[in-house]
Homo-oligomer: A and B are copies of this chain.
């Protein structure tokens, strides 16, 4: 971690009574910084708002924006944000301090956390060459009240990610108990089938990723049919014409292998990699 602020001040810690720690009672967002500028910032803030609404958390968005601007300025001044370099910004919002017990006050004051990280150099290679993935046996947690939200309850992803050590496998897919594929441990999944772009619904489980929304939008604008559908059967995946995974930091990684199935890097995947290039003010 290269820099961190809590509630507008340099800090490396939170209270033991912070409900983010005690119950995972909060949200996060992970953004790519290009030359110090956050990509898709407005979409990420919009998703934080939506997540906060669903969790009945209230936070001061103007304050968060002001702190974020100051944090990036300070990081730049300190030489932590180099032009033409990529970094990763993590925003966490928790419900703040609480007494013992699940009940929260309607007057809670959210904890605002900003963290700056290095970007992994491996990611760009994966965008070019594609990746190998696997199917995880840890099922995804199902709860329609929490589905779609990028909240801090991520133990299912943690356990799924612990299933493999092989560095040649870069992502694992998480299935529901009906053996249908919902997403990757840290990414959303898309397939192309007969020219149509498909991604699993996240109404029962999973995260509605910002990059997933960008891809659905961009495809539609280009006249490609792009649909949220029932989580995929394994057969549906294996018979897809193209497969890729995405998130805000990696962009799009083509999938070239999953167990016995393999795919070339597809044409639509390559197009989408171009189309998602962010204009920074978006």
A191 in the interface, Cβ–Cβ < 8 Å?
no
Complex-state Cα separation, A160 to B101, whole angstroms? 12
Oligomer copy total: 2
Question: Are the C-beta atoms of A154 and B6 separated by less than 8 Å?
Answer: no
Within the complex, which residue of B1, B101, B146 is in contact with A156, where a contact is CB–CB below 8 Å?
A: B146
A48 in the interface, Cβ–Cβ < 8 Å?
no
A100-B113 CB under 8 A given contacts A142-B142, A153-B155? no
Q: Mark each residue of chain A from 71 to 104: 1 if its CB lies under 8 Å from any CB of chain B, else 0.
A: 0000000000000000010101011000011111
Complex-state Cα separation, A12 to B18, whole angstroms? 10
Chain B positions within 8 Å of A25 at CB level: 154-155, 158
A199 in the interface, Cβ–Cβ < 8 Å?
no
A280 to chain B, nearest CB (A): 22
A117 in the interface, Cβ–Cβ < 8 Å?
yes
A145-B152 CB under 8 A given contacts A102-B186, A162-B56? no
Which residues between 1 and 22 of chain A lie within 8 Å of chain B, taking CB atoms? 1, 4, 6, 11-22
Q: Which of A37-45, A133-141, A237-245 is the contact stretch?
A: A133-141
Within the complex, which residue of B4, B30, B101 is in contact with A16, where a contact is CB–CB below 8 Å?
A: B4
Question: Are the C-beta atoms of A145 and B162 separated by less than 8 Å?
Answer: no
Residue of B nearest to A98 (CB): B158
Complex-state Cα separation, A1 to B18, whole angstroms? 12
Chain B positions within 8 Å of A11 at CB level: 16
A143-B156 CB under 8 A given contacts A16-B6, A101-B186, A104-B162? yes
For this complex, 29 residue pairs linking A to B, each with C-beta atoms less than 8 Å apart, are: A4-B16, A6-B16, A12-B15, A16-B92, A16-B115, A19-B158, A21-B21, A21-B92, A22-B28, A22-B152, A23-B24, A23-B153, A24-B154, A25-B158, A30-B100, A55-B155, A101-B161, A102-B157, A102-B161, A103-B161, A103-B162, A139-B143, A139-B144, A140-B143, A142-B142, A145-B159, A146-B156, A146-B159, A153-B155
- Please give the residue numbers on chain A whose beta carbons come within 8 Å of chain B beta carbons, in ascending order: 1, 4, 6, 11-25, 28, 30, 55-56, 88, 90, 92, 94-95, 100-104, 113, 115, 117, 138-146, 151-162, 177, 185-186
